[in-house]
Amino acid sequence: MDSPRKTALVAGVLYLLTFVSIPTLALYGPVRGRNYVTGDGPDTAAVVGGALEVVVAFACVGTAVTLFPILKRQNESVALGFVGARTLEGAAIIAGVACLLTVVTLRRTGAGADAVVSGQVLVALYDRLFLLGQSLMPAVNALLLGSLLYRSRLVPRALPVLGFVGAPLLLAATLATMAGAVERDAPVVALAALPIALWELSLGIWLIARGFRPSPLTSADRAADPAA
């Protein structure tokens, strides 16, 4: 297995790992409740959800770092921008997890009714960080990575085109949510996020199954790899 194939395989696996947080939609249900801090019962679901999101955060950064050595040969500035944007996405996810786990801590320490408002503020902060980290930044990432892959033809052009279509839709939905025009969990928001999700999922599957197409951007790696 040559170096570009290894890079594609690792990046593909990391892209698929970014989908492990899907269950958090249900796992975070209790901790988002208004009376969670004063209630009782296990906190396992929230903790598991936080752990899954931490995995996603590291996988996000990992995809950009893994792809950077190849992408920089197409355009180093854009490739660096992709690494930076992906890092910001991961940081926002980690910060959001910290907010919800702090709510869990308030409950475990018996903070009581006096901490209900604090808990709701932390949940609201998580929602804002989610909009920035897991709605806004994926749209930016799709434009950055999509432009690099489209011009380099490392993957079929239909894949980045899907990202180009999804980015403005997700961006519009995110801005509308920030402005209060629609609710975060409104069906239209979920529909707007679907093309970007399909873009990242299909990219991960393609990289694992087929790897990069032959390109001058990968030929140097093949020449330098003794196993190639």
Q: What is the pLDDT along the chain (228 residues), one digit of tens a residue?
A: 568 899 999 999 999 999 999 999 899 999 988 889 998 888 999 999 999 999 999 999 999 999 999 999 999 999 999 999 999 999 999 999 999 999 999 999 888 888 899 999 999 999 999 999 999 999 999 999 999 999 999 999 999 999 999 999 999 999 999 998 998 888 999 999 999 999 999 999 999 999 998 877 776 555 455 544
DSSP state of 32: G
pLDDT score, position 1: 53
pLDDT score, position 114: 85
Q: What stretch of H or E contains 83?
A: helix 76-108
* Token output for 29: 């249900």
E strands, 140-217, are: none
CA 10, CA 25: separation in Å to the nearest integer? 27
* Token output for 181: 């025009």
Distances (CA, A) of 32 to 36, 37, 54, 97, 153: 7, 10, 18, 12, 44
pLDDT score, position 225: 53
pLDDT score, position 185: 83
Distances (CA, A) of 127 to 138, 173, 223: 16, 14, 48
CA 106, CA 217: separation in Å to the nearest integer? 52
